[in-house]
Amino acid sequence: MSEPTGNTYFEGLKAAHRRTIYKGAGLDDVDVRKPHTGIVNAFTEASPAYVHLRTLAEAVKAGIWEEGGVPMEFGTFATCGNIALGSEDLKYELVIRDFLAGSIEIMARVHHFSGLVLLSSTDSIIPGHILGALRVGLPTVFVTGGPMLSGKWNGRRVTTADVNEAVFGALDAGLVTGQEIAALEENACPTAGACPIMGTANTMQILAEVLGLALPGSATIPAVLSEKTRAARLSGRAIVRLIRKGLTIRDIVDQRALVNAVKADLAIGGSTNAVLHLLAFARELGLPLSLDDFDRLSREVPVLSAVIPNGIHTVDEFHFAGGVPALLKNLGERFDGSALTVSGRPWQEHLDGIGPVRNDVITTPEAPIFPEGGLAVLRGNLAPNGAICRQSAVKPSMLVHRGPARVFSSDQEGYEALRAGRIQRGDVLVVRYEGVVGAPGMKEVMLCSDAIFSMNLDTSVGLITDGRFSGFNRGPVVGHVSPEAAVGGPLAAVEEGDLIEIDIPGRRLSLLVPDDELRRRLARWTPPPPKTTSGVLALYAASAAPPEAGAAMQPWAASPLGARAGRG
């Protein structure tokens, strides 16, 4: 690898017009010729996951200066889906991933940075940052915001998920009082950081470390600890060393890293949304990864993390129990330790000094939380291209469920039916037209999924949708059904009262009507008018891949199922 000491783009008389701009920004002749590192900071005062990132950015800058580089911070937006929960604006939450990636691509290309440090904490923001960095291919280090410390109330642990489930279900069912909700509200988010359960935020923070992009052991350090600031400073030093070695993000995130991330996601019982993000990363890199890989590996990798919703613990406890290195050590030979990290060394060197971990939070393959991986891929006449469920968070009695369809064209419609008591035990809610094109934006069907759990229907009512779910999801809910209804997928042909069978161990999702009847229904189906015809949602609907290919705006990338897979 090359050993660049600076950025030649800013050297020589012909670069005077570039140097004068940075001199106007306060740099001198020595600084202008050092490696320039873009610090991609998702700071915002609008979420506890991001309010502390200014402090971390300053620590990163200190590390960069110490190692002989020049930090150049710029901001990206960062949203919190919990604010939009209950409104139609939740459909923006996946779409923002692609616009974030584009903003990083633009900034890095125009300013010719030598490397990037990514600072973010949640859901689609983390994968948006990573996707943008993969696109430009520079040396890159990820600094996570970390989890918040878990809340306590009335002698028990509480999180944002408790508030959501109380508001969207338990309150209407008379299972919680207004005073109890007020107490949950006061205690669920006690510190800065991401909500401390295994939702999408912490799943993606963990996977950023597994991919080799965050310093080993750093991703799950709670946001409020001094150790988090120290890790940020070390990350600043690390990026300059990577730049000098010429070690880029594409050298680190290779096929080994992607497969390791899939295995880690299965082992933590992580968010179903991680499937979309890892598939999009692979697609951006032109590397092979498909739903079949997730399903195959899920039969080989058990759940080893007892973090909510797969157990009773929180991510801050996961960190103190050993964090990502302990999890990977316990995976043993299932994990490829030859994959590189941003330390410049392979994972194996970081794991050699760690003994097997045995505690209530991170278990061993001999005593798993769940015998298979946390995710299952279902197929069948309702989902020819696949569907996803979080099998480790489904009660055993609901791993196989058959019932009549109750059909709705939005999450809100299904939720109103649940509130009104129109859903009976044994039913299967079908929530369609919430996919990539239908929503548009592949909306989180969170109202219905939260209500099913909090109204104690998770032992008797199933849910299937072409939308997706919050990373908090649990219960007998199946998402990412593809092809989606809006492009003429079989979900569009389901009629009220049709029998549907969800068979998670058998990996089947079936509409129990004759094949010729299903064909007749689809032949006479006509597309509904689009819900949105302008703005970023319309752009996304027109150019995003289907969920089995990552649901990202990558029309230039080959689909594993062929061009425009799943579009009818």
Residue the block writes with tokens 């055993």: 396
Q: Which two structure tokens, joined as six digits, stand for 256?
A: 């080994």
What is the distance between the alpha carbons of residues 391 and 385, in angstroms, rounded to a whole number? 19
- For the chain, report the end-to-end CA distance as a whole number of angstroms: 46
Residue 373's SS3 state is coil
Give me the residues paired with residue 403 across strands. Answer: 500
Closest CA to 126 of 191, 230, 206: 206
Separation of alpha carbons 159 and 151, rounded Å: 6
Q: How many CB atoms lie within 10 A of CB 152?
A: 11
CA 521: distance to chain centroid?
35
How far apart, in whole angstroms, are the C-alpha atoms of residue 421 and residue 398? Answer: 21
Burial (CB < 10 A; 0-12, 13-18, 19+), residue 258, is buried
DSSP string, 143-193: EE--BPPPEEETTEEE-HHHHHHIIIIITTTTSS-HHHHHHHHHHS--SSS
CA–CA dist 213, 278 (Å, integer) = 14
Burial class from Cβ neighbours inside 10 Å (0-12, 13-18, 19+) for residue 477 reads: buried
Active-site pick, 271, 305, 460, 470: 470
List the one residue out of 148, 47, 42 whose CA is nearest residue 101: 42
For the chain, helix, strand, coil in percent to 5 are 40, 15, 45
Residue 6 DSSP class? S
Count of beta carbons in the 10 Å neighbourhood of residue 247: 18
Burial of residue 226, with CB atoms counted within 10 A of its CB: 0-12 exposed, 13-18 middle, 19 or more buried: exposed
Closest CA to 79 of 61, 91, 69: 91
In the annotation, is 103 catalytic?
no
Catalytically annotated residues: 470
